[in-house]
């Protein structure tokens, strides 16, 4: 079972400890946008765990995803909260922003790595650049493969919402540096007083070393890296990522 098709459980699980990430996104966007209500697009927005609070805080949000379960969960949630955002079905490689130009785009938590080939990654970056205003920014967050050693293979966390508790275990089953794929297993264990379920999801992500990521950027030649950060999302501490870095948040600015 694809965990993205279990939107309630995904949303509870991934909304865990996202305060810093949300504050960081807002502060960076406010720094680069001149608008009072910056227009944002989130490729592969899933359940809108970020779109909901950003819309509530006055941003003009749009988002798209391939997963219909996630999209209808998000649309219902927007309606219930009397919020508006432009949500549509679309693919990260060839979405159509209908000629609208955005102040910023953002895509964190490894979502970009769902694009398994270089060609798809290039198409995505070109498309995002095309959908941004002049000097618009793209905030991209992804795990990097350190040149030496491997980061933790298992991550576990527990998140709660009301009576629902969701335990998540994410495990790297295989890393193929030549094919540049990582195979991940996610076990979701949602629990209430009445139920205790378990869902397994296995999927592949493309891997990037810092060098490979920079090469992709220079091949596409549509973005400059204006700053970078690590998983602490601390705006006051931009860092220089290096061969040992295992998570990078890149603030990219559209060239020209």
Which residues contact ligand SAM (rule: CB under 6 A)?
4, 14, 42, 44-46, 49-50, 65-67, 70, 91-93, 108-109, 111, 114
Residue 135 or 187: which CB sits closer to ligand SAM? 187
Residue 61 or 217: which CB sits closer to ligand SAM? 61
CB of 84 to ligand SAM, least distance (A): 19
Which one, of 215, 227, 202, lies nearest residue 121 by Cα? Answer: 215
* 6: exposed, middle or buried (Cβ count in 10 Å: 0-12, 13-18, 19+): buried
Residue 70 or 125: which CB sits closer to ligand SAM? 70
Residue 142 or 210: which CB sits closer to ligand SAM? 142
Burial 212-221 (b: 16+ CB within 10 A, else e): bbeeebeebe
CB of 184 to ligand SAM, least distance (A): 10
CB of 128 to ligand SAM, least distance (A): 12
Q: C-alpha angle 210/247/254, rounded to 5°?
A: 65
- Do the beta carbons of residue 55 and residue 84 sit within 8 Å? yes
CB of 240 to ligand SAM, least distance (A): 25
Residue 205 or 222: which CB sits closer to ligand SAM? 205
* Residue whose CB is nearest to ligand SAM in the complex, by number: 46
CB of 120 to ligand SAM, least distance (A): 7
Q: For residue 53, what is the enclosing H or E element? A: helix 51-56
The DSSP call for residue 111 is G
Sheet of strand 223-229: strand arrangement? 86-89, 60-65, 39-43, 102-107, 132-143, 247-254, 223-229
First to last CA, the chain: 43
Residue 14 or 213: which CB sits closer to ligand SAM? 14
The DSSP call for residue 3 is G
CB of 76 to ligand SAM, least distance (A): 16
CB atoms within 10 A of CB 54: 23
């Amino acid at each position: 079972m694809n965990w993205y098709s279990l939107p309630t459980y995904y949303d509870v699980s991934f909304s865990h400890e996202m305060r810093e990430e949300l504050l960081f996104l807002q502060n960076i966007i406010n720094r680069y946008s001149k608008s009072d209500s910056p227009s944002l697009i989130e490729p592969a927005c899933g359940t809108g765990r970020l779109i909901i609070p950003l819309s509530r805080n006055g941003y003009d949000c749009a988002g798209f995803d391939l997963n219909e379960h996630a999209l209808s969960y998000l649309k219902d949630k927007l309606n219930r909260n009397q919020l508006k955002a432009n949500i549509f079905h679309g693919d990260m490689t060839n979405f159509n922003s209908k000629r609208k130009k955005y102040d910023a785009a953002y895509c964190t938590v490894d979502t970009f790595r769902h694009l398994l080939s270089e060609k798809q990654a290039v198409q995505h970056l070109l498309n995002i650049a095309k959908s941004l205003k002049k000097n618009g920014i793209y905030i991209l967050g992804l795990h990097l493969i350190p040149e030496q050693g491997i980061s933790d293979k298992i991550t576990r966390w527990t998140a709660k919402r009301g009576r629902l508790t969701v335990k998540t275990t994410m495990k790297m089953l295989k890393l193929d540096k030549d094919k540049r794929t990582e195979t991940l297993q996610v076990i979701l264990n949602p629990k209430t007083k009445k139920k205790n379920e378990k869902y397994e999801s296995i999927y592949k992500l493309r891997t990037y070393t810092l060098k490979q990521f920079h090469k992709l950027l220079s091949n596409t030649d549509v973005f400059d890296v204006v700053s970078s950060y690590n998983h602490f999302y601390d705006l006051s501490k931009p860092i220089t990522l290096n061969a040992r870095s295992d998570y990078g948040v890149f603030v990219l600015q559209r060239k020209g």
